DNA sequence: TCCTTCATGTAACCGGTTACATGATTGT
DNA sequence: ACAATCATGTAACCGGTTACATGAAGGA
């Protein structure tokens, strides 16, 4: 239901067409909630049908300008106050990290350092964006700035964590006494066999 | 395609049934990649059909124990080395933050503080988990620990950011005197004054 | 004229969620 | 005997992605 609320949210500030909204997704909102053209148009049609928005003006190329109805405004406020949205749960990068032990140690370490570097680049981009934009014009950009700051901090976290994790893996090359490979094994055992992990089910 | 790889990854360490895998998702992997029972069974069937896993043993209640085939192992390594997965993009909480200006200022601030507190609680849970688990038994838990640490740092970030953001909103001054209708700023381009959320505060 | 941008729509597909349905085995 | 757990499957639905399709308006 979140795309729905994203569209309503944008329409609170000013009426707009599907095309206008698409632009906003692509330039700003898409950082936290991406949406494709086909989905936006479909959702707008539904929103119109349920009476949360309506066409208030028609323009040149079949352009339909949508505005919020009172019901739409109420729904937006309700969404903001009543629903407590949680963090995103699916993280592909952490999923890979979970299985990083299957790679030779150096490769695993390198993957983490690559992630750190990629995050650093993204960090710089976001900082540049923060310092470029003409902020504080309206509430949308005031809150947009809060969101952007979150992104910046996030990239710092990714960097620091990835470097720490790389260190952890590097440090883990102690050979354990009871035979099993405790750290990340080298290339010896990992070709064909599902070698592994342990038998220590105690 | 990530569920697929998650299943393969788990099966590298030890063979298991759909039921076993479901348990692992619910207890550990699910933190970064949740999966439901129906999806797991469906995916295992597909994986079996494509020859990446196979049934190596049948148990009591129609239990089918799956193991990786060499092709499945190769695919897992390929996934880890070749694909560079990105960060999650959809964040419902940040989406709401984007529109927080529609609420009266105190309410918006409170939402952020609530988020900080919720994150603090999650933080404590994760720290407890870190200090309870019997770690370093095998590679899975070594890397699991890296992932857990990420979660802990993430919660710290959320707290710090949310408190900072609350301060930012609070610092935004000036109740606009004419009192716009319930939080819609409209077209007033009052230059650099960050226009207040709305007039609902006294 | 021709290219770009504006502008909307639809159909097929895929991954994930909810819910239903069934039954065997084990422990108390 | 009964409940809990083990164990698998399927069908309907929903949100999101890819791709296709169409055409008007404006500027070079």
For residue B12, give the CATH number of its domain: 1.10.10.10
Tell me what pLDDT residue B15 has.
Answer: 95
The answer on B161 and B96 residing in a single domain is yes
Number of domains chain A contains: 2
Nearest neighbour of B147 by CB, restricted to A12, A94, A143:
A94
Do residue B146 and residue A168 have CB atoms under 8 angstroms apart? yes
Do residue B158 and residue A194 have CB atoms under 8 angstroms apart? no
The answer on B28 and B48 residing in a single domain is yes
Check whether B188 has a pLDDT greater than 50: no
Do residue A91 and residue B32 have CB atoms under 8 angstroms apart? yes
More confident residue, B160 or A139: B160
Residue A182 inside a domain? The answer is: no
Q: Nearest C-alpha of chain B: how many angstroms from A47?
A: 19
Q: Is the CB of B60 under 7 A from strand D?
A: yes
Q: List the end-to-end C-alpha distance of chain B, in Å, as a whole number.
A: 53
Closest-CA residue of B relative to A134 is B192
Tell me what pLDDT residue B137 has.
Answer: 61
Mean pLDDT score of chain B, rounded to an integer? 85
Check whether B67 has a pLDDT greater than 90: yes
Tell me what pLDDT residue A63 has.
Answer: 96
Tell me what pLDDT residue B138 has.
Answer: 66
pLDDT digits (tens, 9 = 90+) for B98-125: 999 999 999 999 999 999 999 999 999 9
The answer on A117 and A68 residing in a single domain is no
Tell me what pLDDT residue B183 has.
Answer: 40
pLDDT band at B1 (very low <50, low <70, confident <90, very high): confident
Residue A151 inside a domain? The answer is: yes
Q: How far is the CA of A193 from the C1' of C11 (A)?
A: 45
Identify the segments of chain A with pLDDT beneath 70.
133-139, 173-202
Looking at beta carbons, which residues of chain A come within 8 Å of B1?
A: none
Check whether B65 has a pLDDT greater than 80: yes
Residue A152 inside a domain? The answer is: yes
More confident residue, A197 or B34: B34
Tell me what pLDDT residue A20 has.
Answer: 96
SS3 label, residue B25: helix
Q: Is B68 exposed, middle or buried (0-12, 13-18, 19+ CB in 10 A)?
A: buried
Tell me what pLDDT residue A85 has.
Answer: 73
Nearest neighbour of A139 by CB, restricted to B34, B101, B144:
B101
Residue B52 inside a domain? The answer is: yes
Tell me what pLDDT residue A22 has.
Answer: 97
The answer on B49 and B116 residing in a single domain is no
The answer on A142 and A118 residing in a single domain is yes
More confident residue, A182 or B173: B173
Q: Nearest C-alpha of chain A: how many angstroms from B145?
A: 8
Structure tokens belonging to residue B61: 């209640």
Residue B99 inside a domain? The answer is: yes
Q: Is the CB of B37 under 7 A from strand D?
A: yes
Host domain of residue A42: 2-82
Mean pLDDT, range B23-34, rounded to an integer:
94
List protein-proximal bases of chain D (any atom < 7 A from a CB). 6-12, 15-20, 23-26
Nearest by Cα to B162 from B202, B120, B106: B120
pLDDT digits (tens, 9 = 90+) for B90-99: 999 999 999 9
Structure tokens belonging to residue B163: 């408190």
Check whether B72 has a pLDDT greater than 80: yes
Give percent of chain B above pLDDT 90: 70
Looking at beta carbons, which residues of chain B come within 8 Å of A143?
A: 97-101
Do residue A85 and residue B103 have CB atoms under 8 angstroms apart? no
Check whether B8 has a pLDDT greater than 50: yes
Q: Is B144 exposed, middle or buried (0-12, 13-18, 19+ CB in 10 A)?
A: buried
Return the H-helix or E-strand segment holding A162.
Answer: helix A139-171
Structure tokens belonging to residue A73: 């405004």
Strand intervals (E) in B10-110: 53-58, 64-68
More confident residue, A197 or B128: B128
**Residue at which a domain ends, from B82, B100, B119:** B82
Structure tokens belonging to residue B149: 């640490």
Check whether B127 has a pLDDT greater than 90: yes
Q: Is B62 exposed, middle or buried (0-12, 13-18, 19+ CB in 10 A)?
A: exposed
d(CA A1, CA A189): 48
Closest-CA residue of A relative to B1 is A92
Tell me what pLDDT residue B173 has.
Answer: 56
Tell me what pLDDT residue B177 has.
Answer: 44
pLDDT digits (tens, 9 = 90+) for B130-153: 888 666 666 678 899 999 999 999
Looking at beta carbons, which residues of chain A come within 8 Å of B98?
A: 9, 29, 32, 140, 143-144, 147
């Amino acid at each position: 239901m979140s795309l729905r609320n994203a569209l309503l949210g944008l329409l609170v500030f000013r009426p707009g067409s599907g095309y206008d909204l698409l632009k906003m997704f692509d330039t700003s909102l898409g950082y936290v909630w991406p949406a494709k053209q086909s989905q936006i148009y479909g959702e707008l049609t539904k929103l119109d049908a349920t009476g949360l928005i309506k066409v208030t003006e028609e323009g040149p190329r079949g352009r339909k300008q949508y505005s919020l109805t009172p019901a739409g405004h109420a729904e937006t406020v309700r969404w903001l106050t009543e629903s407590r949205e949680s963090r995103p749960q699916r993280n592909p990068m952490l999923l890979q990290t979970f299985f990083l032990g299957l790679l030779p140690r150096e490769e695993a370490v390198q993957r983490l350092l690559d992630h750190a570097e990629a995050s650093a680049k993204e960090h710089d981009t976001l900082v540049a964006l923060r310092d470029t934009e003409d902020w504080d014009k309206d509430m949308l950009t005031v809150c947009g700035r809060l969101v952007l700051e979150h992104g910046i901090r996030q990239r710092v976290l990714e960097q620091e964590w990835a470097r720490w994790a790389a260190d952890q893996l590097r440090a883990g090359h102690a050979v354990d006494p009871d035979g099993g490979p405790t750290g990340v094994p080298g290339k010896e055992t990992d070709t064909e066999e599902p070698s592994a992990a342990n038998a220590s089910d105690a």
